[in-house]
Amino acid sequence: MKTNFQEIVRFINNIYVGEQPILHRPVFAGNEKQYLCECIDSSFVSSIGARVTEFEQLVAAYTGAKYAVVTVNGTAALHIALLMAGVTPGSEVITQALSFIATCNAVHYAGATPVFVDVDRDTLGMSAVALRQFLELHAFKKDGVTFNKVSGKRFAACLPMHTFGHPCRIDEIVAICAEFGIPVVEDAAESLGSYYQGQHTGTFGLLGTFSFNGNKIITTGGGGMIVTNNLEIAVKAKHITTTAKIPHPYEFVHDEVGFNYRLPNLNAALGCAQMEQLDKFVQIKRDLALKYATYFDAQEISFIREPTGAVSNYWLNALVLADVVERNAFLEHTNANGVMTRPIWRLMTKLTMFDQCQHDGLENSHWLEERIVNIPSGVPMSML
């Protein structure tokens, strides 16, 4: 069946009636203005303020994590999480090439080098099968530490991503990494509100991170969060994200090089109001995904559904088109007719900064890169 691009444009416009169908936009339909005004009136608008702690507590409670540490953005959260996992300059982090650039940027900030394994076609996230094959082929242990036979460098962490809010097979990944003594840091930036086998994403590994950028399911304008069940890690993460300042009523004493990564109270106030609406946002986005799935089934176009055993937040809805030619034609037609769509990210191995990094061939990653497009996925005003 030949894809009818114009019919798809009409269908999407009917969903987003009265508004421009862009990929994602924030929705401020609750107490955002009230909490922001209260924050301004309090004069506590920077990183010292009650809303900062409250936002951490809300996210920890929602995800089921014992501890949460808020940061200025998701990339900062990833950077600190990698440091807390033991990533050091000259080490390597196993991750996926099909990801947003922040994943690899954070690895670089920690002084490490990314090593790429393939993804699964159904989850779009790291493949547990590919990970095991890679480690069995390339890993060796010395004095209880796992190294790369090719580079001789230590595998300091594994960094899978829950792509577009769809959980990867994180339980299998964690189990494999435990065999090899490699800590897992979950890039759950896109998956707040997503669960795998009844457990929230970001809570399987040693640490997990979330993003609250303006295009995420909830937003603080910017913002990120580290979650962990390890008290020592949580205390350390909060310390070094607050410039490593030793608490004191008036002295400025810092005991190590830290980072000015704490989220301002203004942003946290916005986050508290958004958390009150998160369940509603997730349900609407799941209802929207069902509309899309039903429609595209009839069009014989493959729509990415939540993986088996998962409950996805459907942050960004995605289609799998026939090939790169159809993908490019779809992108050109929809964008020219006022419906915002985009391709999936360029593979990290195709970017100048990471094109020399070791990888396993990335067969599925290349296949998906040529076919995946995202379609408008924000909460339609008509569905609120």
Q: Please list the ranges in the chain whose pLDDT falls under 70.
A: 1
161 and 244 in a single domain? The answer is: yes
pLDDT tens figures, 363-381: 999 999 999 999 999 999 9
Burial state string for 58-67 with b = 16 or more CB within 10 A and e = fewer than 16 = bbbebbebeb
pLDDT for 264: 97
180 and 293 in a single domain? The answer is: no
pLDDT for 1: 56
Indicate which CATH number applies to the domain containing 172.
3.40.640.10
Q: Which residue, chain included where needed, has tokens 């940027």?
A: 105
266 and 286 in a single domain? The answer is: no
Q: Is 245 inside any structural domain?
A: yes
266 and 295 in a single domain? The answer is: no
Indicate which CATH number applies to the domain containing 337.
3.90.1150.10
Count of domains forming the chain: 2
CB 364 within 8 A of CB 118: yes
94 and 178 in a single domain? The answer is: yes
Task: Quote the CA–CA distance of 113 and 358 in Å, as a whole number.
Answer: 9
Estimate to the nearest angstrom the gap between the alpha carbon of 81 and the chain centroid: 13
Final residue before a domain boundary, out of 232, 252, 275 = 275
Strand partners, 190: none
200 and 319 in a single domain? The answer is: no
174 and 304 in a single domain? The answer is: no
pLDDT tens figures, 248-286: 999 999 999 999 999 999 999 999 999 999 999 999 999
CB 8 within 8 A of CB 317: no
CB 216 within 8 A of CB 27: no
Q: Is 139 inside any structural domain?
A: yes
Strand partners, 54: none
240 and 334 in a single domain? The answer is: no
* Structure tokens that stand for 361 in this block: 């061939």
* Structure tokens that stand for 224 in this block: 């990120």
Q: Is 24 inside any structural domain?
A: no
Q: Is 0.95 topped by the overall pTM?
A: yes
Q: Is 25 inside any structural domain?
A: no
Q: Is 26 inside any structural domain?
A: no
Task: Quote the CA–CA distance of 57 and 67 in Å, as a whole number.
Answer: 8
Task: Quote the CA–CA distance of 47 and 62 in Å, as a whole number.
Answer: 22
41 and 139 in a single domain? The answer is: yes
pLDDT for 3: 81
Final residue before a domain boundary, out of 248, 275, 302 = 275
CB 95 within 8 A of CB 349: no
In terms of residue numbers, what domain contains 135? 32-275
Q: Is 261 inside any structural domain?
A: yes
**Residues across the chain:** 384
167 and 285 in a single domain? The answer is: no
71 and 107 in a single domain? The answer is: yes
Final residue before a domain boundary, out of 249, 275, 301 = 275
254 and 300 in a single domain? The answer is: no
pLDDT for 10: 97
